[in-house]
Structures are given as C-alpha cells and as structure tokens.
C-alpha cells in the first residue's frame, strides 16, 4: 500500500518533486499537495511577463490538471496548512481538517520582506510575489500611472519591466550603488542600468527609502536624502525571507530557513523541506535552479535511492528587462583570481570569466548567455581550462574546435 | 539596357622595377587603375612578368601621392604653392647659391628610376649651364663598379652581350647575384636553358640564396673574395693552356701584369680555395667547367658591385673572358645585370658625376664637344662629386643647395643617419618625387615638386642589354604632377636658358639625346643611337624596343660588342687589369664580430614607396629581418622569430631574427627595403660603412663589421587600421599595406592595460569591443563602424604573439555577420561553426537557429518535443511562450 506523502506548497519546487518522484517510483506514495494559492501551480518566473501582458495567465500554468491526476496526486489548492504535529504525523488545515502523512515535505517558499518604515500599510503599497499581486498591480497600473519599485534586484527589475510595458511611468529606487549586485559585477550592473533606462525606467541608486507618504493612499516615496518620488502605486521588492511559519509549529530547527541536512531532511525524521524555505549548509537560495536540484535529490531519496544534496553552485541564468544575464560561482573575482573579460558594448554584450589555479571558478555574462551552462559545467567539473583558456570566452564551439585541432595535430 | 562597357586599349610600356626591362601591357580601367600583363612581343620577357611586375596594378592609387607643389612653412608643415612660385624659388635658390658660393656649392642627386629624357635634361642643366658636375645618381649604389670596370677594360661603359646569350650559353656563372629574386624573368630564361639544353648553372655567393637552389654548383665564397676566385681561374686557364693567345695578342694589353698579379693572389687551386673559403674540389670543378665550356656567360650583380673593391672584382671577371676570347659572341661574355630600370639610360646621358653625356668623359676635347652641341654657357670643367662624397660635402657645408629627384637617399645611402642630419643643414633642399612623405622629404625638404609616376610618364628606358624601350603613359597626370624633364626645363627657363631648353615633348628631348650620341662620333664611342635622332613624334610614340648601337650609317646587324676587338681605348685594345689583392675594407673585431651583408627580398623594390603599395607583395616578407646562421645565433643568444639589435659604428637597427642554414657563418644578411615610413628601426643604410671603391665610388654595402645582440620584447601584436596610425613611441613596428588600410606588426614592453587605453584612444568614435586576459598579457581591441571592422589591435605575450591572417580577412570584408563579430577578438575563423542564433532558452543555451532546424527537420513538432530533443524550455520554462510562437510560425512557414 502506498505511503501517504504530503507536500505543503504548490510552487515550482513542489511540481518538480512530484514530477521526479512519480517518474522514479510511481505509486509508491499517495501524494497530496496543499497550496495556499487558489490555482494550479504556475511558473512564477513568468509573472513579469504576465504583468507586461506578453503572456496570458493561462499560459504560465506549469502542468494541466490532467497531468496531476494522471500521477494520482491529490491537489488541495486554495487551502492553508496551519500546523504540523510530528508526533502523530498529521498536518492541520485552516478548515480544521487534518491530513496524515508518512513523509512530509515543506515547500512553502518565501515571502517578500516588508520594509520597516512608515506608510507601508497604505493602500497602493504592494508586493510582487504571486498572481494575486500581479492582478492587483495590473489594476493599479493604469496608463500613465506613476509607479515606484523599491528594490533593484531581480524581482524589482522584473516588476519594473512589467509595469513599464503595461504603460506606467516607473522609477526604481535601490539601496545599493548598483543593480542586482548579488548576481552581477559592477560592469554588468552598469550595462543593465543602461538597458533598463532605455526602456524608460528611472533608476535611483544609493536610495534608502525612509517612508511612504500619503494620507488615504500612497502618493510618494520619501528617500533618506530628502527626495520625494511621486507614486500612484509602490511595489516593494526589497528581498524575500523564507516562509517558516508552518515549520515553527513542528518545532523544527530554524535559522534563516528550515535547517535541512544533505537528504533535505529537517531536524525531525520524515519531515523534509526544499526550495526557498530551507537553509542548507548555512545557505539560503532564492532561485529556481537550486530548488529543482533539491527536488531531484529528494525525489531520489524518497524513492529509496542513495542520493544526497550537497548544495548548488550559485548560478543566475535569466532574462531581465529583455536581456539575458548569467552569473555563476565567484563572478566578482576574489583577490587571488585572474579574469578574462570580453566586452562589446555595441552588441550589448559583456563576458567575464574568473580563473583560479587554472580552473574556471566564476562567470558573469551579459547580453549573450548562450554558453552560460557550459561555463557552469566547467565550474562544477573543476578541471583545468588551460588548454582552452585562449578561446574560453568566445564560447564552446570555438574552444572545442581548437581542442580537437590540437588533439588531431 | 546597359551601355556596352568602354574598353580602353592596352598600352605597351615597360616595367619600372629592375634592369631586366620587361615589356608590360597596361589596360587602363578608366578609374585610375589598370590591368597589367606581360608584353608577349617584348624581347626582354616575351610576356612573362615577375611577382613585382604582376602586382603593378595594385600600386597605382593616389593615396600617398604628392599632387601639388608644396613649400615647407616656418612651423615645419608643408603647404601648397603654385608651380610658378615653386619654380621661381628653385631657380632663384640655385642662382643665389652659385653667385655666393660658386658652382660646386650646388648638386643634383638623381635616380635610376628617372626616364632617359628626365635624366638628360637634368644632366644638361647641371653640366652645361650651372657649371658643375655635381650630378650623381643612386646608380652609384647599384652598378658604378661595373661601369668603372667596363670603362677600365673596354674604354667604354659597354655591356658586350645580349640576353639571348643566356639562352645559348652552355655554362652560366652567376656571381653575387640573387637573380631568382632580383632579376626573376631573366633568371627563368637561364633555368629554361638549363632544363632544355642542359646548360650548367654555377652560383657564387656567400649566402645560399633562392638562386643557389637551382645551381649545378654552388660556391659559398667568402665575402669579398670573388677576386681571388677569378684570379685563381685566370691562373688555371693559363696553366692549362686554355687561353686564346690570338685574341690576347690582337685585342688586349696588360696580360703579363694581370697574370703575374693573379699568381700573387691565387697561385694555385689550393691557395684559391683557401682564400675564397671553399672546398678545393668545388673550386676545381668550377675551373674545369669554365675551362672546358667555351659558351660561358658570367653574369654579376650587386654582390660584385657593392664593394670597396668592386671594380677590381669586375676586372677579375672580365679578364677571364678576355683571355679566352669569350666575349661578344653568341652565348658568351661578361654580363652586368643592372639593378634599376634605367640605370643604363642614366649612364648614357652622363647621370654619374664622373661621366659627361653620351658616354663621353671630362677630357678637354669632350667637354668642348658637348659644350658646342649644347650651346652651353658654363660647362663643368671636371668630374663632380660621387654620391658618398657629395653627401659628405653637404655634411661639411660645402654643398649648400641640393635637388633630389625620384630617390630616397636618407634611407639608401651609407651612414643614412648622418645623411639625414646633413640634409637638414642645406640652405636649399628641393625634392621632386611622387610621394607626399618619405624619409628624405621628412629630413627637411623645403620645396616639393610633384613628379609624374609610372603610368603617367612618357619617355624611354634602357635595360641591361642596351635595349631602349618606351615607357608610355596610360593614365592622365593627376593633380598638378608634371614630368621631371618639364620641371627641370622650367627651372632652366627661369635661369635664363630658355633657348637651350625649349622642349615641348619627351620626343624633343630624345631626339637631341640621340643626336648628341652621334655628334662627332664616327665610331669612336660605343653609345651611338644616331639612327633615332630624326624620329618624328609619331615614330617616337610607336618606337619598338631597340638595341644600341643604332648608328646612322651602319646596317643593323649583331648588336654585340668586341668579338673582333674594336675597344674604345686609344689603341682599340682592351686592358687586362691587375687587381689589388682582395681584402675587406674593415676588419672584424671582438666588438663587431659579424660581416653585415645586405640585399633584397623577392617581392619588394628599393625603399618600398611603390612595391609597398601592393597588399599582395606585402605578404611575402612583412617584417624587416636579419638572417643568421644557426651556430652564430646560438653563440649570440638569438632565437628564431625573436629580435636582434644590430650595431655598427654608424648606427643601429632592431630586426626580426630568421635563423637559416643558408646563411654563411660569421655573416648577417639584412634586406634594404625598410625605412622610417615602414618600420620603427630598420633603415639598413644607417648601418652601412661609407667606405667605397677608389675607382667607382660605390659603397661597400655588403661587408660592414657589425655586432648583434638579442632584444627581448615582452609582448607582440598587430594593429589594423583604415587610416595611417602611428604606434606609441618605443614600439617596434613594421608597416604593411592592406587592400583597404594598413597593418602594423608590433613588439612592445607596454602592458596590455596600456594598450587597451591606447586602442580606445586610437579608434576614437567607433564602437569598440575589447578582450583582456591581463595575466596572460593579452589585449585585443576591435573597432566597428557601420557593422564593418574599422580597426583592430591585438597584443599578446611575445612567445605566443597573435597571428593576423583571420582578422585581416575580416578587416578586409565588407561587413561582418553577428557571429563573426562576436568571434573577431578570438582571432579565429568561425568558418564551419554553426551559428546557433540568439538564445531562446537561457537555461540550456539553446539558440533560435537550433530550434528552427529541429522543427524543419521534423525532429520536433511541438514545444514538448523541442524539450525532449533540445531540453529547451524544460528548466525554468520562461521561454515556453516564445517556443510556442516559434512552433506556430514554423507551421505557417
């Protein structure tokens, strides 16, 4: 008989876990997925495209209902899990019902950070996390509306891009001195700023928000230097925090996220966690790729295979404001590293590869990311790149042809 | 309907390069260029051309041309002026200098590139009207020793044989001649004879040149020891009783003295071999071949001439032909291969300071004769200063006014640095040329006169076999350029000699020149073309290549000289000469342990002002180099492909090192072509000793003692640019002409970071891409304008410097594809690499072209199948909407 497996959270990590697990061991578990959002799991990466009206809401659905039922998955979306009782292995839902589990997987994701400044409660101050947020922002962002996005990271820029495409006059205020400072180096950030600005988005760097002004609704964002930026709506995209509310009810070890081991298991047996809600080896991840890797590892483990997750090499590989960017590893380049830099501003491309001890340890690509995954493979493999160093930055095809020539010679 | 293309007829003319004097058919394209082919009817080449001649069409552009008279301004810049003013300044300057300092304070320095008519008029003005014989020519550097040797032996500057002798000889001895590279068309005739008739080819040269490759016998003679070898041959011929006693008796004098001296220098085979640095067996074989082969031509060139004992070398060679009577008959004779297209023409008109016009000398009778013919007011009373002495007189301030025509002495003369400095001291320094900039002009020329170039010039040249050919114009004169004869005649007019310089055409000048050659000649002078003195303009225009002598009274038969004696000495006998014992002028020392040999490379000519314009020719040898024997290189610490600084007491150069087994131990070989216009530090003239031959004045250009030491640069690279870009000071560089721009090959110690800044500054307003791998010493910068590569800078570590072939091809391409542009800075071709196109799936790096190909091939029909086949869209999924669009468009298409 199938063991009951309950997954809390119906995001991208949950979907990938189900996909991998049913592929490996269909029927071994009776799977139930509990999701707060009242809809089938969808691709959160495409939220800005929905906001920009480049794709419809329906198009971002990850899998159709049939796909879930084909795998015997009970989808409980629009339900909130409120507590876990590890002793009796049950999850309590908001409506009072409880679900028994043999194994429990928390994939509760993250929540936007709310700034601790006055005015955050005003109508017109929004976050950008789910389709509900997109609908609200879309409604407020009437043509010509003034929108201020707080946060110049990936999420903020995605929101800004969507808003601008939807017809708003958009300003981004960012605390740091460059955009996406955690994913890009200074030069790529500067190029990104240029691209963002050419899309009609104003960018304010070194801009600390000290308050949202307005009496009945938000009308301006006030900065520390005294500037006030008019706003009909304010989107707060200043970062995320692991969603650990449910985990606390089970008394799991929690630091910045639910602490898990290399089997993605929490401090209690039979309770696992994956995705943005976890902390693994001291690391929290905020991108889809590590969540997928965790889902794959956990699926293997739950299927009875020996598998472990040892952490993800951080790679950012995405399109922001219509531009492909990629970064991985030590892309900033520590003091003892060497750098290969290729730049063609006329084409809007920039590539920096970081070498240490003859091995590729980091990369940042802007505009042309076709070889990003190859670089990531090289970083992960950790083999010497000396033989192809001269061609490395020019991409796999050129570099591998040269190697073949050398071997043939 | 298109109008039919207008085909301009091909014009018969002559090549402007070497002394072979090939006929050329030039078919103008109506846009300032021309298609070039060999003239099948010209007896010098019968349709063949060498690499240089074939590329003439690439050298016709006006980019580097001097098109207007220019005057140097106070601030050093050159500014346009009118012909009227320029001619006035030249005439007044020469008149004033002569008035204040006498006629020996002025000089002309001419060129074997001038046409006979130009040469004639310049020589007439100086010798007949300015009252000085200070008119010399770059031919002094080329074959003055042959002139002196021939005059000494024959009483006249006569080349006895004709090219056809090279077809009929059974033995051809090449002495000091890399004919394979320097006279290629003639050399091919020799090789054809070798193949078809089994003629033997003996090559005598200190260096194993390309010419040596075809030789039946190669004698790597010790530098300067040719005289010993030919003295040994004379002794051998005498000892073997292989002499033509009848000829000696009837037609020569000085035999005993010559043979006695030869025995002193080279008493026997062993002594000859020792002196010449050769194996006895090889010397013996050469002697045997010469002795037993009546039909022998000994052809010689700069290796013989450019020597402080050049005249004696020529004499030692001629002696062997005279004592065997092997002269002036088909298939035999000594044969001077001249370097320049019109060195012979220059000699005919008296372009050398020690000759008057029409092969006459500075004897009282001849001065009087020429003076009467010219109606000259002020004949030069004696010989003038030869080139080296002329520039020494300039250095001492004795010559104060100089007019240089069509040559580049600041590069080509010995002690070129001192020459350049001396030029700056002149009160009046005039240059007639067709380039805007060269080292001589940049040495401070005050007045620049724009001369007609090849393709525009109209007149005659004489080749090595005394054959006069027409150089005909096939292009119109650009800008305000004028023929040199016209320019000189204008100055003569302004000086008050209008009556004697009233020429209206080159034909006018030629007729006078021909008439002078016959004037009171009566067979006393070899040079007589009196038969051509009455040509009409139309006949002159139509003149077919004609060999002299062309006497008025004589039937035109065999044009060879001296088979039956008839020398142009007082007793009509040839002189056998006792040469001085051979010894290099300067000994080697610990400080200067090498002998510096100099010469040409196959595809360049002189200082490259013309041949350097051809991208094709630039490919052969793009950098100035020094060739070193492997053992010498090892001892001096020189590495192949590295750099060497050569030093002599006169100057220094830095050259690329080429290690070659063919190079003689103890000798270094350097090509002469590079100047400050084309390289940072490769003006070989700077290194060369001013020592020169006491008879000919020809400098010892191939034997200067020199030192060589390695020079290490940390980085090497290249620069490609549309415009003329000067590299930063301190850079070693060599400039190469490209189809649309120039290239610099460089070496440097400046770090890549500095080059990156330099590249950005140089390429200015263009879109600039760069690639930096600083730890590896790599900097690459590319500039783009309108999608085309407009500039490129590649710097890399010296031991793995960048190669430019791929980038050069992209630079010359009209526009670059996206993929090509992305790969430009790799320096590698993208040929054969698939272009994936813009990335659609960022997660797996899948490009749109790959996806379209999968759809087109039927591999994938929907988004899921694309995911299965290519993984695209299977990770974050953010490209799925785009994949759907691609699929639906694919279906529509």
How far, rounded to the nearest angstrom, does the alpha carbon of residue B315 sit from its chain's CA centroid? 26
| Structure confidence at residue B3 (pLDDT) | 42
Confidence of residue A404 (pLDDT cuts 50, 70, 90): low
Q: What's the domain count of chain B?
A: 6
Q: Is the pLDDT of residue A385 over 70?
A: yes
CB contact under 8 A, A338 and B773: yes
B524 part of a folded domain: no
First to last CA, chain B: 37
B164 and B299 share a domain?
yes
B525 part of a folded domain: no
Selecting from B822, B878, B880 the residue whose C-beta is nearest the C-beta of A368 gives B822
Confidence of residue B327 (pLDDT cuts 50, 70, 90): very high
Between B766 and B695, the higher pLDDT residue? B695
Residues in B closer than 8 angstroms to A393, CB to CB, are: 771
B311 and B166 share a domain?
yes
CA angle, B874 then B877 then B878, to 5°: 150
Residue that is last in its domain, among B305, B336, B367: B336
Architecture of domain A125-236: 3-Layer(bba) Sandwich (3.50)
B225 and B172 share a domain?
yes
- The residues of chain A that CATH labels 3.50.50.60 are 3-111+240-302, 125-236
Between B485 and B584, the higher pLDDT residue? B485
A31, A71 in Cβ contact below 8 A?
yes
* Count of alpha carbons within 13 angstroms of residue B107, beta-carbon side: 32
Best mutation target, A42, A187, A342, A375, to test chain B (most B CBs within 10 A): A342
- Comparing A23-27, B161-165, B395-399, B836-840, the range with the smallest average pLDDT is B836-840
For B591-671, strand residue ranges (E) read 594-599, 625-628, 643-648, 651-659, 667-671
- The residues of chain A that CATH labels 3.30.390.30 are 322-408
pLDDT tens, position by position, B253-289: 999 999 999 999 999 999 999 999 999 999 999 999 9
What is the percent of chain A with per-residue pLDDT over 70, rounded to a whole number? Answer: 98
What is the percent of chain B with per-residue pLDDT over 70, rounded to a whole number? Answer: 98
* CA-based nearest residue to B576, from B150, B255, B324: B255
Residues in A closer than 8 angstroms to B784, CB to CB, are: 346
* Count of alpha carbons within 13 angstroms of residue B755, beta-carbon side: 33
CATH number of A322-408: 3.30.390.30
pLDDT tens, position by position, B97-129: 999 999 999 999 999 999 999 999 999 999 999
CB contact under 8 A, A318 and B876: yes
Q: Which two tokens stand for residue B628?
A: 């070193």
For residue B861, what are the domain limits? 839-892
Q: What is the mean pLDDT of residues A4-18?
A: 95
pLDDT tens, position by position, B641-680: 999 999 999 999 999 999 999 899 999 999 999 999 899 9
* CA-based nearest residue to A182, from A360, A364, A376, A359: A364
Q: Is the pLDDT of residue A280 over 50?
A: yes
Q: Is the pLDDT of residue B309 over 50?
A: yes
Q: What is the mean pLDDT of residues A298-317?
A: 89
Q: Is the pLDDT of residue B891 over 80?
A: no
DSSP letter, residue B557: -
pLDDT tens, position by position, B416-430: 999 999 999 999 999
pLDDT tens, position by position, B585-595: 789 999 999 99
pLDDT tens, position by position, B182-228: 999 999 999 999 999 999 999 999 999 999 999 999 999 999 999 99
First to last CA, chain A: 62
| Structure confidence at residue B1 (pLDDT) | 38
Selecting from B770, B839, B876 the residue whose C-beta is nearest the C-beta of A288 gives B876
Query: pLDDT averaged over chain A?
Result: 92
Confidence of residue A1 (pLDDT cuts 50, 70, 90): low
Confidence of residue B831 (pLDDT cuts 50, 70, 90): confident
B289 and B400 share a domain?
no
DSSP letter, residue A276: G
Cis before B325 (ω within 30): no
Task: Write the CATH number for B37.
Answer: 2.20.25
| Structure confidence at residue A406 (pLDDT) | 54
Selecting from A370, A374, A398 the residue whose C-beta is nearest the C-beta of B826 gives A398
Between A148 and A398, the higher pLDDT residue? A148
B232 and B260 share a domain?
yes
B737 and B871 share a domain?
no
CB contact under 8 A, A43 and B826: no
pLDDT tens, position by position, B356-370: 999 999 999 999 999
Phi and psi, residue B644, nearest 5° = -130, 140
Confidence of residue B5 (pLDDT cuts 50, 70, 90): very low
Q: Which residues contact residue B784 at a Cβ distance below 8 angstroms, ignoring those fewer than 6 apart?
A: A346, B766, B767, B768, B769, B790, B816, B821
Task: Write the CATH number for B305.
Answer: 3.40.228.10
Q: Is the pLDDT of residue A185 over 70?
A: yes
Q: Is the pLDDT of residue B893 over 60?
A: no
B214 and B160 share a domain?
yes
B219 and B149 share a domain?
yes
Q: What is the mean pLDDT of residues A5-31?
A: 94
Selecting from A49, A342, A369 the residue whose C-beta is nearest the C-beta of B839 gives A369
The ipTM (two decimal places) reads 0.84
Confidence of residue A248 (pLDDT cuts 50, 70, 90): very high
CB contact under 8 A, B876 and A368: no
B466 and B398 share a domain?
yes
Confidence of residue B850 (pLDDT cuts 50, 70, 90): confident
B268 and B316 share a domain?
yes
Q: What is the mean pLDDT of residues A181-202?
A: 94
Nearest CA in chain B to A344: B769
B583 part of a folded domain: no
Task: Write the CATH number for B637.
Answer: 2.40.40.20
- The SS3 call for residue B197 is helix
CB contact under 8 A, B768 and A317: no
How close does chain A come to B746, measured CA to CA in Å? 20
Place of tokens 């009467």: B372
Q: Which two tokens stand for residue B517?
A: 């050659």
- Comparing B150-159, B754-763, B804-813, the range with the smallest average pLDDT is B804-813
Q: Is the pLDDT of residue B619 over 80?
A: no
B240 and B170 share a domain?
yes
Query: What is the topology classification, in CATH, of domain A3-111+240-302?
Result: FAD/NAD(P)-binding domain (3.50.50)
| Structure confidence at residue A317 (pLDDT) | 81
Best mutation target, A326, A344, A358, A376, to test chain B (most B CBs within 10 A): A344
Phi and psi, residue A104, nearest 5° = -125, 135
Query: pLDDT averaged over chain B?
Result: 92
B671 and B767 share a domain?
no
A116, A208 in Cβ contact below 8 A?
no
pLDDT tens, position by position, B450-497: 999 999 999 999 999 999 999 999 999 999 999 999 999 999 999 999
Residues of B with CB under 8 A from a CB of A: 767-776, 778, 782, 784, 818, 821-823, 825-826, 828, 830, 832-834, 836, 839, 842-845, 847, 875-878, 880-881, 884
B202 part of a folded domain: yes
Residues of A with CB under 8 A from a CB of B: 43, 45-46, 49, 54-55, 59, 62, 288-289, 292, 317-319, 324, 326, 338-347, 349, 355, 368-374, 389-391, 393-395, 397-398, 401-402
Which burial class, exposed, middle or buried, applies to A56 when counting CB atoms under 10 A from its CB (0-12, 13-18, 19+)?
exposed
């Amino acid at each position: 008989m199938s063991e009951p497996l309950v997954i809390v959270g119906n995001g991208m990590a949950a979907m990938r876990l189900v996909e991998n697990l049913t592929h490996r061991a269909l029927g071994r578990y009776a799977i139930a997925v509990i999701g707060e959002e009242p809809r089938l799991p969808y691709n959160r990466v495409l939220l800005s495209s929905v906001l920009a009206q480049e794709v419809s809401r329906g198009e971002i659905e990850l899998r159709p209902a049939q796909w879930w039922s084909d795998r015997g998955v009970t989808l409980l979306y629009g339900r909130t899990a409120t507590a876990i009782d590890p002793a009796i292995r049950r999850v309590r839902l908001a409506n009072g019902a409880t679900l028994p589990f043999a194994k429990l997987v928390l994939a509760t994701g993250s929540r936007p950070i709310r700034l601790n400044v006055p005015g955050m409660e005003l109508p017109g101050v929004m976050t950008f996390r789910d389709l509900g947020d997109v609908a609200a922002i879309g409604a407020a962002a009437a043509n010509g509306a003034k929108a201020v996005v707080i946060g110049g990271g990936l999420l903020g820029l995605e929101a800004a891009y969507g808003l601008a495409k939807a017809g708003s006059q958009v300003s981004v205020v960012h605390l740091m001195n460059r955009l996406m400072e955690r994913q890009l180096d200074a030069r790529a950030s500067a190029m990104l700023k240029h691209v963002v600005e050419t899309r009609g988005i104003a960018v304010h760097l070194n801009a600390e928000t000290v308050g949202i002004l307005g009496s009945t609704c938000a009308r301006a964002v006030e900065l520390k230097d005294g500037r006030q930026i008019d706003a009909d709506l304010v989107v707060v995209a200043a970062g995320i925090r692991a969603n650990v509310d449910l985990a606390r009810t089970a008394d799991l070890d929690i630091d910045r996220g639910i602490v898990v081991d290399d089997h993605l298991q929490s401090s209690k047996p039979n309770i696992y966690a994956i995705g943005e809600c976890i902390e693994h080896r001291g690391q929290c991840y905020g991108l889809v790729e590590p969540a997928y890797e965790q889902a794959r590892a956990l699926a293997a483990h739950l299927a009875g295979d020996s598998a472990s997750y040892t952490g993800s090499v951080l790679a950012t590989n995405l399109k922001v404001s219509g531009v492909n960017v990629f970064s991985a590893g030590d892309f900033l380049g520590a003091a003892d590293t060497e750098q290969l830099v290729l730049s063609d501003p006329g084409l809007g491309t920039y590539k920096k590869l970081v070498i240490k001890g003859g091995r590729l340890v980091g990369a940042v690509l802007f505009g042309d990311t076709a070889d990003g995954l190859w670089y990531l493979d090289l970083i992960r493999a950790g083999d010497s790149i000396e033989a192809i160093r001269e061609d490395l930055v020019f991409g796999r095809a050129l570099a591998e042809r040269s190697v073949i020539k050398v071997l043939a010679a | 309907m298109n109008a039919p293309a207008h085909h301009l007829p091909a014009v018969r003319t002559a090549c402007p390069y070497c002394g072979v004097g090939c006929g050329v058919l030039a078919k103008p394209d109506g846009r300032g260029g021309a298609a070039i082919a060999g003239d099948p009817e010209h007896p010098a080449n019968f349709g063949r051309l060498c690499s240089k001649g074939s590329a003439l069409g690439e050298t016709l552009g006006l980019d580097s041309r001097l098109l207007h008279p220019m005057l140097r301004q106070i601030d050093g810049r050159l500014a346009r002026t009118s012909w009227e003013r320029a001619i006035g300044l030249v005439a007044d300057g020469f008149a004033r200098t002569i008035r204040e300092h006498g006629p020996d304070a002025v000089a002309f320095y001419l060129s074997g590139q001038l046409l006979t008519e130009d040469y004639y008029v310049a020589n007439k003005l100086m010798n007949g009207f300015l009252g000085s014989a200070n008119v010399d020519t770059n031919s002094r550097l080329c074959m003055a020793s042959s002139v002196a040797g021939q005059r000494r032996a024959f009483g006249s500057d006569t080349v006895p044989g004709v090219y056809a002798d090279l077809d009929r000889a059974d033995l051809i001895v090449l002495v000091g001649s890399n004919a394979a590279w320097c006279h290629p068309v003639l050399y091919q005739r020799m090789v054809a004879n070798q193949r078809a008739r089994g003629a033997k080819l003996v090559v005598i040269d200190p260096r194993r040149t390309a010419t040596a490759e075809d030789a039946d016998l190669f004698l790597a003679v010790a530098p300067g020891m040719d005289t010993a070898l030919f003295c040994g041959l004379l002794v051998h011929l005498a000892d073997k009783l292989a002499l033509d006693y009848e000829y000696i008796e009837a037609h020569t004098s000085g035999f005993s003295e010559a043979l006695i001296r030869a025995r002193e220098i080279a008493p026997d085979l062993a002594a000859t071999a020792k002196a010449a640095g050769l194996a006895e067996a090889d010397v013996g074989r050469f002697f045997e071949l010469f002795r037993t082969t009546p039909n022998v031509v000994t052809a010689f060139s700069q290796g013989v001439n450019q020597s402080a004992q050049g005249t004696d070398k020529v004499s030692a060679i001629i002696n062997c032909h005279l004592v065997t009577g092997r002269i002036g008959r088909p298939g035999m004779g000594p044969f001077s291969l001249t370097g320049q297209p019109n060195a012979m023409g220059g000699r005919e008109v008296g372009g050398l300071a020690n000759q008057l016009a029409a092969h006459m000398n500075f004897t009282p009778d001849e001065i009087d004769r020429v003076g009467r013919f010219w109606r000259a007011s002020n004949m030069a009373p004696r010989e003038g200063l030869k080139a080296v002495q002329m520039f020494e007189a300039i250095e001492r301030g004795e010559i104060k006014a100089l007019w240089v025509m069509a040559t580049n002495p600041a590069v080509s003369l010995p002690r070129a640095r001192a020459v350049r400095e001396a030029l700056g001291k002149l009160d009046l320094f005039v240059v007639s040329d067709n380039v805007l900039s060269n080292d001589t002009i940049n040495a401070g020329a005050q007045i620049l006169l724009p001369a007609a170039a090849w393709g525009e010039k109209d007149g005659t040249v004489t080749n090595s076999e005394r054959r006069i050919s027409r150089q005909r114009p096939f292009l119109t004169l650009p800008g305000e350029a004028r023929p040199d004869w016209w320019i000189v005649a204008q100055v003569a007019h302004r000086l008050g000699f209008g009556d004697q310089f009233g020429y209206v055409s080159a034909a006018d000048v030629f007729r006078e020149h021909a008439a002078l050659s016959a004037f009171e000649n009566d067979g006393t002078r070899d040079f007589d073309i009196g038969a051509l003195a009455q040509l009409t303009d139309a006949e002159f225009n139509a003149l077919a290549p004609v060999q002299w002598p062309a006497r008025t009274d004589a039937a035109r038969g065999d044009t060879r000289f001296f088979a039956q004696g008839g020398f142009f000495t007082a007793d009509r006998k040839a002189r056998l000469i006792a040469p001085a014992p051979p010894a290099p002028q300067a000994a080697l020392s610990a400080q200067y342990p090498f002998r510096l040999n100099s010469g040409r490379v196959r595809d360049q000519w002189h200082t490259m002002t013309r041949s350097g314009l051809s991208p094709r020719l630039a490919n052969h040898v793009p950098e100035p180099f020094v060739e070193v024997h492997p053992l010498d290189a090892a001892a001096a610490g020189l590495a192949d492909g590295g750099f060497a600084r050569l030093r002599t007491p006169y100057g220094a150069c830095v050259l690329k090192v080429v290690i070659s087994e063919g190079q003689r131990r103890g000798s270094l070989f350097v090509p002469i072509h590079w100047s400050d216009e084309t390289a940072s530090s490769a003006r070989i003239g700077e290194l060369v000793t001013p020592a020169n031959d006491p008879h000919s004045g020809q400098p010892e250009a191939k034997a200067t003692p020199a030192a060589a030491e390695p020079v290490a640069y940390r980085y090497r690279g290249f620069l490609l640019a549309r415009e003329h870009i000067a590299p930063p000071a301190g850079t070693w560089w060599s400039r190469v002409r490209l189809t649309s721009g120039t290239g610099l090959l460089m070496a440097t110690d400046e770090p890549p970071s500095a080059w990156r800044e330099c590249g950005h500054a140089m390429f200015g307003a263009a879109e600039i891409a760069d690639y930096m791998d600083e730890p590896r010493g790599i900097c690459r910068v590319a500039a783009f304008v309108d999608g085309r590569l407009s500039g490129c800078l590649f710097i890399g570590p010296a031991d793995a410097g960048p190669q430019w072939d791929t980038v050069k091809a992209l630079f010359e391409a009209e526009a670059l594809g996206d993929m090509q542009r992305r790969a430009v800075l790799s320096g590698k071709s993208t040929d054969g690499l698939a272009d994936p196109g813009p990335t659609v799936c960022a997660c797996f790096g899948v490009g749109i072209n790959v996806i379209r190909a999968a759809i087109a091939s039927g591999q994938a029909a929907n988004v899921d199948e694309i995911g299965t086949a290519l993984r695209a869209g299977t990770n974050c999924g953010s490209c799925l909407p785009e994949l759907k669009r691609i699929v639906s468009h694919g279906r529509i298409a």
